[in-house]
Amino acid sequence: MSRMMSALVALLFIVSLGMVSAPAAHADQVTIPLGYSAYGLRSQVEAHLQYVEIGDDRKGSTQTTTPLERVKWFRLFYQYENHGNTTEDGDLKLEFIDDKGNVYKLDERTYTGDKVSPNSIGSLKFVELPISRDSNIVTIRVYKGFEYTDFPMPGQGAVTPTATVAPTSQPVTATPSTPTATPQPTPYVIPQVLSLLVAGCVATWIVSMRNKN
């Protein structure tokens, strides 16, 4: 085996090791930016609804009595911003409504609050709950006292403040925890780079063999 062929094999081996060790992208997870915000009742704390993740894997310690093959996990990431001059607790009361009209609620024990210093932004947090696998959440409902605002998922229409209505029952039973999240970069691989490296090595080897001939 020529030196060029040996170098080619070694390079392909190194690149393949890197591809195996690199984490694969989660094709089953979807991230949806939101950019909504809402104030609490008689509060200077603003809740920023940053983005939603929907996937097959659970990130927190939320439990469900529904078989896992029948659910997917819906996570809302948010931060509080205190515009006041005194420390305040941010708090969110949330509901999630799917395209069939089903209303998903967080467990009453779920803590969504965060103590925020004056004129500062709190840490990124999330709430997580299981929803039926065939469901599509179209509305995030944020309560402010006895009133609420419905924030549609992107592509579902305009924001519409509405009056309070009696919620329907929750189709999936869950016992959420109170997780706090630090956003993680989405792992990825670039197969195009591998293809270019292989093509370059093969071309170099071909040129080398022609020169020898």
**pLDDT tens digits, 31-55:** 999 999 999 888 999 999 999 999 9
pTM for the whole thing? 0.62
Burial profile 193-209: b = 16 or more Cβ within 10 angstroms, e = fewer: eeeeeeeebeeeeeebe
List, for residues 134-153, the tens digit of each pLDDT value.
Answer: 889 999 999 998 899 999 99
Kindly indicate the confidence band of residue 171, based on its pLDDT and cuts at 50, 70 and 90: very low
